[in-house]
Amino acid sequence: MVTPLPMPASLPNRPSSENVANDQRLLTLVGCIGGIVLEFDEHVRYVNAWADDPALLALPAHALIGRTILEVLGEVAGSSVARSRSRASSAWGRR
């Protein structure tokens, strides 16, 4: 069973009731398709992580929150993910 992780108080965007509803929809989707969904902030720091199988995550979900992709995956793999995220954000008009 997949459950959303609460955002720690140290992160600026606390979940609103709308965000919680969105999280539930996302969890339903993840449960249907299987796999993982990772949410990052503008600094490529983990904000949340959902997985139907926790073994798919690099670390337990609670240990990811607040860390950067480079801290978790290391320079080689983390840089690749950060570049991909940057390209995706640019495509959507975000930085």
Is this model's pTM higher than 0.75 or not?
Answer: no
Measure the CA–CA gap between 49 and 72, rounded to whole angstroms.
13
| Higher local confidence (pLDDT), 20 or 78 | 78
Best CA proximity match to 38, nearest among 85, 89, 86: 85
* 4-29 pLDDT per residue, tens: 444 444 444 555 677 777 777 777 77
Domain-wise residue ranges, the chain: 17-68
- Helix H, strand E, coil C: the string for 15-53 is CCHHHHHHHHHHHHHHHHHCCEEEEECCCCEEEEEEECC
